[in-house]
Amino acid sequence: MRTGDCDVQKKAGWAVFNASSGGAPNQINYLVSRACIPPLCDMTICVDVKIIQICLEDMVNILKVGKNEAPTSGTINLYAQFVEE
pLDDT per residue over 18-69, tens digit each? 888 877 889 999 999 998 888 888 888 877 888 888 888 889 999 999 888 8
Give the whole-angstrom CA distance, residue 25 versus residue 8: 25
Predicted pLDDT at 1:
67
Residue 73 confidence (pLDDT) above 70 = no
Tell me how many degrees the CA angle 68-72-73 measures, rounded to the nearest 5.
Answer: 100
Name the pTM for this structure.
Answer: 0.81
Q: What's the chain's average pLDDT?
A: 84
Give the whole-angstrom CA distance, residue 54 versus residue 16: 9
Q: Which residue ranges form the domains of the chain, and what is each CATH number?
A: 6-84 (1.25.10.10)
In tens, the pLDDT along 56-70 reads 888 999 999 988 887
Give the whole-angstrom CA distance, residue 49 versus residue 27: 25
Q: Which of 34, 38, 44, 46 is nearest to 5 (CA)?
A: 46
